[in-house]
């Protein structure tokens, strides 16, 4: 066997930015040809082969790009604007417009997303079996009841697409500003100390799933509205001091 050969599904995943399962589906649906013939599952290729997807050549040599991007509130992760909401690609140089977002955030959320044209990397970061940890700063419209906090963390909340469980940590304490803000003044600390039940509206959420609007839907099921959702960590990658709308090149 030629040591330079690749499995066709791995090649398509890397070049098209899809998972290997999706690549297999493309092959099975007869959308892939190799040297003019419809490809079969399990096919191996090398640089001498001409691979086409929907009659367009898929180049063998591709440079992969990996970005960490700070998504601001008000932008969508799709390539097309949605209504009056602009797309994140308006904030990126044109050379990165072909990259796909990994771990999307909705229009009203902010924080860390990754972008790449490497389908294998995207699959490793998003498939549930790899359980990549994601960390969020969450603000609620009212303090979270301890029973509800325990319910989410220990048992989960049933949603339409199954139970939702993640860790919820209090993120406000006496002497600290909301959501990691500046310390309270001496007078504010005094006022805080005399309260029997100080509001705790800011939380850290840690989860390993990635279902659509999962955090918002989970809190909504218990009668809370998420007023701020900001992702700070995604797997080994951290937002750190990256400014909104800015990006850095990362290593996979």
Split the chain (252 residues) into runs of 10 and give each run's mean pLDDT: 76 82 93 94 92 89 89 93 91 92 93 90 87 96 95 95 94 43 43 43 92 95 97 96 96 90
pLDDT of residue 77: 94
Q: Give, in words, the CATH class of 66-127+243-249.
A: alpha beta
Tokens of 7: 């499995």
Selecting from 1.10.260.40, 3.30.70.1560, 3.40.30.10, 3.30.200.20, what CATH number does the domain 133-234 have?
3.30.70.1560
- The pLDDT assigned to 2 comes to 53
The answer to whether the beta carbons of residues 213 and 106 sit under 8 Å apart is yes
What is the per-residue pLDDT for 141?
95
154 and 238 Cβ atoms separated by less than 8 Å: no
Alpha carbons 112 and 103: distance in angstroms, whole number: 9
Q: How many CB atoms lie within 10 A of CB 3?
A: 5
* CA trace torsion 6, 10, 12, 13 (10° rounding): -160
Model pLDDT, residue 242? 96
Q: Is 108 a catalytic residue?
A: no
Do domains 6-57 and 66-127+243-249 share one topology? The answer is: no
**The domain made up of 6-57 is a member of CATH 3.10.290.10:** yes
Angle of helix 119-126 relative to helix 20-28, nearest 10 degrees, comes to 120
Q: What is the pLDDT of residue 215?
A: 97
Residue 72 burial class via C-beta count within 10 angstroms: exposed 0-12, middle 13-18, buried 19 and up: middle
Report which of 97, 91, 87 is spatially closest to residue 69, judged by C-alpha positions. 91
Q: What is the pTM of this model?
A: 0.72
Q: What is the pLDDT of residue 67?
A: 97
State the burial class of residue 45 (Cβ atoms within 10 Å of its Cβ: 0-12, 13-18, 19+): buried
pLDDT at site 82: 82
Task: Provide the pLDDT for residue 174.
Answer: 34
| Residue tagged active-site, from 106, 108, 120, 176 | 106
Domain parsing of the chain, residue ranges: 6-57, 66-127+243-249, 133-234
């Amino acid at each position: 066997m030629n040591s330079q050969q690749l499995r066709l599904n791995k090649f398509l995943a890397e070049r098209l930015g899809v998972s290997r399962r999706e690549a297999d589906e493309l092959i099975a649906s007869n959308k892939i040809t190799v040297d003019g013939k419809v490809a079969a599952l399990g096919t191996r290729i090398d640089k001498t082969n001409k691979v086409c997807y929907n009659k367009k050549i898929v180049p063998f040599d591709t440079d992969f790009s990996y970005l960490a991007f700070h998504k601001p509130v008000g932008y969508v992760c799709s390539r097309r604007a949605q209504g009056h909401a602009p797309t994140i690609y308006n904030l990126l140089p044109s050379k990165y417009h072909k990259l796909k977002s990994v771990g999307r955030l909705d229009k009203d959320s902010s924080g860390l997303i990754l972008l790449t044209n490497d389908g294998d990397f995207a699959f490793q970061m998003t498939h549930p079996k790899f359980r990549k940890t994601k960390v969020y700063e969450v603000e609620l419209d009212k303090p979270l009841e301890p029973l509800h906090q325990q319910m989410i963390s220990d048992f989960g909340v049933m949603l339409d697409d199954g139970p939702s469980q993640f860790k919820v940590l209090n993120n406000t304490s006496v002497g600290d500003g909301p959501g990691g803000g500046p310390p309270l003044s001496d007078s504010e600390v005094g006022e805080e100390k005399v309260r029997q039940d100080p509001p705790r509206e800011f939380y850290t959420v840690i989860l390993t799933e990635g279902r659509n609007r999962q955090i918002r839907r989970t809190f909504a099921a218990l009668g809370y509205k998420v007023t701020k959702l900001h992702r700070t960590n995604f797997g080994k990658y951290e937002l750190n001091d990256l400014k909104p709308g800015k990006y850095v090149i990362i290593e996979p």
